[in-house]
A and B are shown apart, each in its own frame.
Chain A
Amino acid sequence: MYWLEISVETDGEGAEAVAEALRPFAHDGGVALEQMGDETDLDPNALESTVTVKIYVSEADDSPELRHRIEEIMYHLGRLYPLPAPRFTELKDEDWANAWKENYQPFRVGRKLWIQPSWIPLDAGSGSGAQLADDDIVVVLDPGMAFGTGSHPTTQMCLLALEKLVQPGMRILDLGTGSAILAIAAAKLGAAELLGVDNDDIAVKAAADNVAQNHVQDQVKIRIGTLASVAEKHWEIVVVNILAPVIITLLAEDGLLDYVADNGRLVLSGILDQQLGEIEQAISDAGGTLLETLSMGDWVACVVQPGLRA
């Protein structure tokens, strides 16, 4: 499997026209315009004048006819504005999907949760100099292409909330589990029964791999599906780290609070601070009570109880 990268070098003036000419052929209609930093300039913000316009085509859509058609279109455009011939490069997944891992280091969240990338030895310490302590709870993770690396504020606030709320023996539902980072952390904090649900099959695969890697498969089950596919109700904690519009729909239309036990807690994350008002309204309309708000950068997370405050 490869992705065909079609790139054309131009300048700021020609870039939009090239982008528009290439867009009909692009996967998802997406076009990227790349300008590299100027290494020779002392100004840290200096850029080279060349703009490289790039689109991507799946292997299934690649053909000699397609390449010829694009060469033809660029030739005609080049009659109006000088352009070099387009360049065709076949990219393997490993060329782009894993590069970010170089910048992903072990780190601590909260008091004792330690997130450990699976490809880094456990005794290597973190890039920031933090060291693993004897009583740290280690979550070994390879998020792959799933949400939930632990480095994002939305995930970190969920981990902080779980560290505070999880009691031994609890039953927990993790909706939109992604890499299963939250479910695994909760299992290691002592929860007895966890269900991680995601509607993305890439996430479900990554989640299952991470569950096995952490040896918590007896406690954590992973399923593909949506909230409606969850038959069990009355979970002691339900954690939802998705995005505000999805959370509002889950509260308003899908009966999210019905899945929380009477004395249980709902943890909501993926909410920008300017969206908090809408979320508060949705919680209240659904019959819940906002107990606590956590905040990190532009993001907030909410701890909710079903029903009115006791």
Chain B
Amino acid sequence: MAKKVKAVVKIQIQGGRANPAPPVGTALGPHGINLMQFCKEYNAKTSNQVGQIVPVEVTVFQDGSFKFILKTSPAADLLKKAAGVKGGSAVPNRDKVGTVTSQQVREIAEIKMKDLNSIDIEGALKIISGTARSMGITIVD
């Protein structure tokens, strides 16, 4: 019988740099995960991506075991690169920080498609567009 999932935790951290301090320790420790074992595995598998955010999705089972998979860069990171901005807006409904084209949004949606909970490209486009708006990035045609 399949093991029951206790939680799924996605952590956005720098490749090759995981250590048991927060956020890894505080996010995974309470679930009973052996933090050093996780860090060793993560750092080994991301040692060629140092300097990039390499999100990881950790599935914790009720018996304390875990598995993880590496994910694509966060949509916000891809949007910042596409818009050529360093960060999102603190007041996104009022202050806009940059623009992306709808074609760029589509490209990002295609990259992120496998990691999003959307069944088709239209759903992925909706999520990426929402993220752009929430960052104060305007979508233009």
Contacts and interface: CB of A to CB of B under 8 A. Distances in A.
Contacts of A21: 88, 90, 134
A227 interface: no
Given A27-B23, A99-B30, A32 B40 contact: no
Nearest to A51: B10
The 4 closest A-B pairs by CB, nearest first: A17-B134, A103-B64, A96-B29, A56-B22
Contact of B20 (A14, A17, A97): A97
A23 B14 CA distance: 13
Contacts of A12: 116-117, 127
A21 B74 CA distance: 13
A17 B47 contact: no
Contact of B29 (A16, A46, A100, A148): A100
Contact of B64 (A26, A95, A102, A143): A102
Interface size class of B (residues with CB under 8 A): 35 or more
B79 to A, nearest CB: 9
Interface residues of A, number: 64
A302 to B, nearest CB: 15
Interface string A34-54: 111100000011110000001
Interface of A: 3, 5, 12-14, 16-17, 19-21, 23-24, 26-37, 44-47, 54-56, 58, 73, 76-77, 79-81, 91, 95-100, 102-104, 143, 145-149, 151-152, 154, 178, 243-245, 270, 272, 275
Determine chain A's interface SS by DSSP, over half rule.
Answer: mixed
Nearest to B48: A245
Contacts of B47: 243-245
A23 to B, nearest CB: 8
A244 B21 contact: no
A241 B1 CA distance: 36
